Amino acid sequence: MSCGTLYICATPIGNREDISARAVRILKEVDLIAAEDTRHSRGLLDFYGISKPLVSYHEHNKYERAEELVGRMLQGKNVALISDAGTPVISDPGEVLVIMAREAGIPVTSLPGPCALITALTLSGISARRFVFEGFLPMENKDRKAVLDALRDEPRTIVLYEAPHRLRKTLQELKECLGGGRAVCLCRELTKIHEEALPATLEEAEALYREKEPRGEYVLVIAGRSPEEKQEEMRSSWESRSPEEHLQAYMSRGMTKKEAIKAMAEDFAISRNTLYALLMK
């Protein structure tokens, strides 16, 4: 007996009309639908006249339920995976099921459709040529700081998800880490009646939401660090210390004098000969 197939089905992020004809057909044909929240998904399925068995698949049961679903597919059952909204696996526990299905030799196919990440990026007016997606920032302070520090010098456009009750804290941290002048577009209620894409600087956004109550799930699209911004920061950093103080700071990281001078020359775009001359003075 041949095994079944796992279908990754994108569902609307707001407007119920944003689902492909193929996704509707597959959801009507599969033997079973795994949904993040069965009560939430039932409304969408009823709207399209889909009456297949539903099982819950979410963050708290993803390993046990994935094993169960893999077992059913190995018995020949076809399974569709849907999330509460958008494309499963993107900031979603679905990746565990996909990995386990592939390891078991089960065919996996994805039915493309709505994704808040892409929708917000196209609305933002911020460069979409190159971008990095971080999803939700970690909850633990240590892990959160590590991610923010890594984003400080990121030249690509940055896309984050955030819940309304954490938005103020996140905007404050982003302003402190990336600088208040960095461009951001705050997207919410995507594809819904009250859709909003608010362009601002991080300083303006943080000030706005000190007074305004955040509502709805947010996608933050943030401009990457420009070469000009980096040059200005390096210029200010160079002027803040003497060459000797910079050298000592680099050597305190465990570098030899030669390694420190090489690193300084690269970071501050100064020739090594110029640095040697400055240090000799």
Q: Quote the CA–CA distance of 262 and 42 in Å, as a whole number.
A: 62
- What is the average pLDDT across 25-37? 97
Is 97 inside a domain boundary?
yes
CA dihedral 99, 103, 106, 111 (to 10 degrees): 20
Pick the last residue of a domain from 114, 145, 162.
114
> Is 250 found in the same domain as 158?
no
Shared domain check, 56 and 12: yes
Q: Domain with 221 in it: what CATH number?
A: 3.30.950.10
Residue 221 lies in a domain: yes
According to DSSP, residue 24 is labeled: H
pLDDT digits (tens, 9 = 90+) for 207-238: 999 999 999 999 999 999 876 666 666 566 55
Is there a single domain that holds both residue 210 and residue 243?
A: no
Q: For residue range 45-89, what is the model confidence (pLDDT) as tens digits?
A: 999 999 999 999 999 999 999 999 999 999 999 999 999 999 999
Is residue 151 one of the residues assigned to a domain?
yes
Domain presence at residue 1: no
Do 75 and 41 belong together in one domain?
Answer: yes
Residues 174 and 192 in one domain: yes
pLDDT digits (tens, 9 = 90+) for 145-155: 999 999 998 99
11 CB-contact burial (10 Å; exposed 0-12 / middle 13-18 / buried 19+): buried
Count CA atoms closer than 13 A to 218's CA, side-chain side.
24
Distances (CA, A) of 148 to 7, 59, 134, 144, 181: 35, 24, 10, 6, 16
Tell me, yes or no, whether 235 and 200 share the same domain: no
The partner residues of 133 in beta bridges, in order of sequence, read 159
**Taking a C-beta distance cutoff of 8 angstroms, is the pair 92, 24 a contact?**
no
Q: Which domain holds residue 157?
A: 117-225
Q: Provide the domain count of the chain.
A: 3
Helix (H) or strand (E) holding 170: helix 167-178
* Strand extents, DSSP E, the chain: 6-9, 32-35, 54-56, 79-82, 108-111, 131-136, 157-162, 183-188, 196-201, 218-222
Single out the residue in 65, 80, 114 at which a domain terminates: 114
Identify the CATH number of the domain in which residue 79 sits.
3.40.1010.10
Q: Are strands 196-201 and 183-188 parallel, antiparallel or unpaired?
A: antiparallel
Could you read off the pLDDT of 193-215 as tens digits, one per residue?
999 999 999 999 999 999 999 99
Domain shared by 202 and 256, yes or no: no
pLDDT in tens, 94-143: 999 999 999 999 999 999 999 999 999 999 999 999 999 999 999 999 99
In this structure, the answer to whether residues 170 and 103 fall within a common structural domain is no
Task: Enter the DSSP assignment of 11.
Answer: B
pLDDT at 71: 97
Q: Which of 68, 92, 114 is the last residue of a domain?
A: 114
